[in-house]
Structure 1
């Protein structure tokens, strides 16, 4: 499993997905399934720590143009400011509007967010390793 930044959603949105080509949760092997829960939790912790959202959405996407394409799980911070910018929309309506509008965060802000996120992921990984030893 890996995670990465996505656009055109709001700053702080991260995507978790398998390294292998998988189009559905039901297709995950035992190893990937065992990694998914902790990785989603850690990703949500990073997003919540850095963005302080009122809500963190975690949702799965796999759509291609005509068929399933590749499994992606979005971990998206949603603040009052984000909701206000999109007329108070929530959930899939908010995400659909964001994607349709195509507004991408400033690249400098994305790079700064990514660096802070990497630092937090390292700290989480280090503390998890210490807990296992």
Structure 2
């Protein structure tokens, strides 16, 4: 769907720093685009899906293992205090392309945002608008892509 960020990124109509890190039949993993911390990965459906209730059987079956593997990649590379897994698809006026953020929250990240946690931390990040450096994202994504390959090869 033209004009949808998720669809535009996957179709190459918008730049996707770091590119696609991993993909399954129904899902694609990439680094977040926007004001979240380095290492925050997005698990999004290939198709324009706006609700979990709309997932087909293939997408539903792939989701759990893919979230686990994505969290393993984030945990390995970032060594966070906690890894958040949050589904977002609520747009300003309507539902938007479903995407699930897998976000590493380190002590450094919490300190940068006054010790905030959970939704307050994410809200502050979005309001502050600070985006990770593109070169750092590219480097992180190279490492993440390799870890996804290792996980796939060991399955």
For the superposition of Structure 1 and Structure 2, which TM-score range results when normalised by the shorter chain?
over 0.9
* 3-state SS, counterpart of residue 7 of structure 1: coil
After TM superposition, the score normalised by the length of structure 2 is: 0.80
> How far has the Cα of 1:6 moved from its partner?
3.0
* 3-state SS, counterpart of residue 58 of structure 1: strand
Separation of aligned partners in 2, 1:87 and 1:118: 32
* 3-state SS, counterpart of residue 53 of structure 1: coil
Q: Deviations over 1:71-107 (max 9, x none)?
A: 0100000011100110111101100110111101111
Q: Deviations over 1:19-47 (max 9, x none)?
A: 01111111111100001001100000000
Unaligned runs of at least 5 residues, structure 2 = 1-27
Separation of aligned partners in 2, 1:124 and 1:27: 28
After TM superposition, the score normalised by the length of structure 1 is: 0.92
Distance 1:3 1:38, change over 3 A: farther
Aligned residues: 128
CA RMSD of aligned residues (A): 1.0
Separation of aligned partners in 2, 1:37 and 1:43: 10
